[in-house]
Chain A
Amino acid sequence: MATVLPSRTAPGMTPKTRRRLMKTLLFLGLALGAVFAGAPVLWMLSTSFKSNGEVFQNPPRLITENFSLDAYTEILTNGAQLRFFLNSYIVAIAVTALTLFVAILAAYAFSRFTFPMSKTINAVIVSVQAVPPITLVIPYFGLVVGLGLYNTYPGLILTHMVFTLPYAIIMLTAYFNTLPKELDESVKVDGGSSWTALWRILVPISVPGMIAVGVYTFMISWNEYLFALSLTRTDDMRTVPIGIQLLMGQHSYEWNQMMAMSILGSIPVLILFLVFQRRFIGGLTSGAVKA
């Protein structure tokens, strides 16, 4: 397939010097990339330990005289800010649990049964991922108000599932497909139902796949912004991303607190990612490449 054309040989350089040069260039490139990726994050971290008066100090310094955790204590002792975190946890955990449950059932149907319309239903589920949230948010507003779910947890939980469910079903179907059918057939031979086969055999051995799906689901819900902004009204129903924005107007730019809240708000996702990195990236790329 790949045609390889003959090339000129390397100009007057021994393989050893050439290798050394390549290595220097590589590390130079890697270092530049690390500054590009990491410096803004480092600056956010540094700002969160400053007093607000020092944020735009000239010349800028990474660590200032008044290095302190004040911005964090401010956030963590403020009931209104803590409420944003509570709301985010409630919504994200509920979305993760419900998404996994519904997706397990659907993935089982796609993986273990042949039935009419399965291709069509699958295509519809895949296409949900492409529907723009801005198109959905207008009818969702009408629906949620009509159903009395405006400014409630169920309103947010239900609407977040439009993002999480398609991905979860596709991923779990792919995961179930890698497990031999003989496993669940053996339960049926012993007189067990397909329900038993699913929950007793398939689900317990699919834990790695479910972790990847669960982490991704949690992240999507934790980070969701547009629906949280449009479908809630009062501060006691707002989630962390909206809380960060509210901090921007409310205190006329308490930059140190905004950065502290941003870091506190990012910690759950950072921890989940670092702990499950391998499984997560593996699951994600297989999804992105195959789905």
Chain B
Amino acid sequence: MTTAPADPIVKPESAPPAEPAAPGPKRSSVARRLLPFGYLSPTIVLIVVLMIVPIVMVISYSFRDNVIVQENSVFAGLANYTDVLTDPDFLAAIKNTGIFITVSMVAHLLLGLGFAMMLNSPLLGGVAKSLFRVVYVLPWLFTIAVIAVIWRLLLDPSGVVNYVLNALGLIDQGVDWLGSPSTALWVVTFANIWSGYPFFMISLLAGLQGIPGELYEAASVDGASPWRKFLHVTLPQLRPVIISMAVLDLIWTSQQFALIWMMTGGGPLNSTEMLSTFTYKLAFSEYEFATASASAVVVLLLTMILAFFYVRQQRER
């Protein structure tokens, strides 16, 4: 943006553009420059208070001891980090979180893609399409607290899941899905898969509808089978959406707290302990806010790595 200097004799290099030298039109130009910051000021204040200050706080807590609960905190160096990183429960939480987010993401993608392709089929009429779409979106409309109680009801040792599996001859007696360390992680993951696939489905459905029909027509002219069309038209066209959804899903699922907290509380025997539940327990059950902060900073760093891939992928598009 160029502002015409009021005095034509002034040497160009001595006239910095933002100098509010004279009143009148120049002052109004300064005001005009500040105007967008005026509109942004509530946002900037909120971002500083809700993100920048808290992140600085949590990092400083993580290097100190006796934070929050006591008046005088003391510098502790890296002690909190060594505590956290050598804690077998923390390492178990990393492993569980890794399994939980990867299995969830792959299943979300496969189910979301499968459902989106069925809904997008030209063989399906308009009414049937909207009906099935509403049914398929259902799990996504319930809050996580509700999803947790639904699955606790279904998975109860004398619940309906055991009844059905028993009737099909797949199990002999009631399985305590959430109460045994060998199954708890898998059923929690299953509940998360159930609740999260609709978001993939909706985005992939929009992606499918955006693929130009000529691509399929050209493929048909070349005699391509439906499977080949899927491999060589559909998948390449959806690739950008799939990649960004996958990374976003890993980030979101790694932040999942309520589902695990309400289904198992991290148990039994840490078998469903996630980074989020581990950190929460340290802070709000044991009041070890300093150690919990170190754990929270590690979680932040891991998320940053995922976010970095997401941003890089978005740039490439």
Binding site for B on A (CB under 8 A): 1-10, 19, 22-23, 26, 29-30, 33-34, 36-38, 40-41, 43-44, 47, 55-56, 58-60, 101-103, 105-106, 108-109, 113-115, 118, 121, 124-125, 127-128, 130-143, 145, 158-159, 161-162, 165, 169, 194, 222-223, 225-226, 229-230, 240-242, 244-245, 248, 255, 258-259, 262, 265-266, 269-270, 273-274, 277, 281, 284-286, 288-289
Q: How far is the CA of A56 from the CA of B202 in the complex (A)?
A: 35
| B51 and A34 contacting across the interface, CB-CB below 8 Å | no
Q: How far is the CA of A244 from the CA of B259 in the complex (A)?
A: 13
A173 to chain B, nearest CB (A): 11
Q: How far is the CA of A285 from the CA of B24 in the complex (A)?
A: 48
The contact of B202 among A1, A121, A284, by CB within 8 Å, is A284
Q: How far is the CA of A106 from the CA of B46 in the complex (A)?
A: 12
Q: How far is the CA of A136 from the CA of B255 in the complex (A)?
A: 11
Q: How far is the CA of A265 from the CA of B42 in the complex (A)?
A: 32
Extra inter-chain contacts (11) besides given A58-B163, A281-B202, A284-B202, CB under 8 Å: A6-B224, A33-B118, A37-B135, A59-B163, A106-B43, A121-B40, A132-B300, A158-B49, A241-B145, A259-B150, A288-B199
A154 to chain B, nearest CB (A): 12
Q: Chain B, 9-25, contact with A by CB distance < 8 Å: what is the 0/1 string?
A: 00000000000000000
Q: How far is the CA of A133 from the CA of B227 in the complex (A)?
A: 42
Q: Does B207 contact A (CB under 8 A)?
A: yes
Q: Does B177 contact A (CB under 8 A)?
A: no
| A30 and B146 contacting across the interface, CB-CB below 8 Å | no
| A37 and B139 contacting across the interface, CB-CB below 8 Å | yes
Spot the interface stretch: B29-37, B74-82, B181-189. Answer: B29-37
State whether A43 and B135 are in contact (beta carbons under 8 Å apart), knowing that A4-B222, A161-B46 are contacts in the complex.
no
Contacts of A114 in B (CB 8 A): 1
State whether A266 and B146 are in contact (beta carbons under 8 Å apart), knowing that A41-B138, A241-B258 are contacts in the complex.
yes
Interface size class of B (residues with CB under 8 A): 35 or more
| Contact residues of A: prevailing secondary structure | helix
Q: Does B283 contact A (CB under 8 A)?
A: yes
Q: How far is the CA of A194 from the CA of B36 in the complex (A)?
A: 10
| A162 and B51 contacting across the interface, CB-CB below 8 Å | yes
| A108 and B39 contacting across the interface, CB-CB below 8 Å | yes
Q: Which of A37, A108, A109 has the most CB of B within 10 A?
A: A37
| B51 and A6 contacting across the interface, CB-CB below 8 Å | no
Binding site for A on B (CB under 8 A): 1, 33, 35-37, 39-40, 42-44, 46-47, 49-51, 53-55, 57-58, 61, 67-68, 114-115, 118, 121, 123-124, 128, 132, 134-139, 141-146, 149-154, 156, 158-160, 163, 194, 198-199, 202-203, 205-207, 215, 218-219, 222-225, 227-229, 232-233, 236-237, 241, 244-245, 248, 251, 254-255, 257-258, 261-262, 275-276, 279-280, 283-284, 289, 292-293, 296-297, 299-300, 303-304, 306-307, 310
Q: How far is the CA of A135 from the CA of B254 in the complex (A)?
A: 12
Instruction: Name the CB-closest residue of B to A10.
Output: B225
| A130 and B251 contacting across the interface, CB-CB below 8 Å | yes
Contacts of A242 in B (CB 8 A): 145
Q: How far is the CA of A273 from the CA of B143 in the complex (A)?
A: 13
Q: How far is the CA of A270 from the CA of B261 in the complex (A)?
A: 24
**Which 3 pairs between the two chains have the least Cβ-Cβ distance?**
A241-B145, A139-B54, A225-B258
State whether A40 and B154 are in contact (beta carbons under 8 Å apart), knowing that A6-B223, A127-B307 are contacts in the complex.
yes
Contacts of B33 in A (CB 8 A): 115
State whether A226 and B257 are in contact (beta carbons under 8 Å apart), knowing that A3-B232, A43-B153 are contacts in the complex.
yes
| B43 and A102 contacting across the interface, CB-CB below 8 Å | yes
| A130 and B304 contacting across the interface, CB-CB below 8 Å | yes
| A132 and B222 contacting across the interface, CB-CB below 8 Å | no
| B57 and A33 contacting across the interface, CB-CB below 8 Å | no
A218 to chain B, nearest CB (A): 12
State whether A266 and B257 are in contact (beta carbons under 8 Å apart), knowing that A4-B228, A4-B233, A139-B61 are contacts in the complex.
no
Contacts of B293 in A (CB 8 A): 138-139
| A40 and B283 contacting across the interface, CB-CB below 8 Å | no
Contacts of A229 in B (CB 8 A): 261
The contact of B255 among A124, A132, A274, by CB within 8 Å, is A132
B315 to chain A, nearest CB (A): 11
| B149 and A259 contacting across the interface, CB-CB below 8 Å | yes
| B257 and A225 contacting across the interface, CB-CB below 8 Å | yes
Q: How far is the CA of A108 from the CA of B151 in the complex (A)?
A: 44
| B225 and A106 contacting across the interface, CB-CB below 8 Å | no
A176 to chain B, nearest CB (A): 12
Q: How far is the CA of A115 from the CA of B34 in the complex (A)?
A: 9
B223 to chain A, nearest CB (A): 5
B139 to chain A, nearest CB (A): 6
The contact of A134 among B202, B289, B299, by CB within 8 Å, is B299
Pairs across A and B, CB under 8 Å, 26 listed: A3-B232, A4-B219, A26-B118, A40-B194, A43-B153, A44-B146, A60-B163, A115-B37, A134-B280, A134-B299, A136-B55, A136-B58, A139-B57, A141-B68, A141-B283, A141-B284, A142-B67, A226-B257, A244-B145, A258-B149, A259-B149, A262-B149, A266-B143, A273-B137, A285-B205, A288-B203
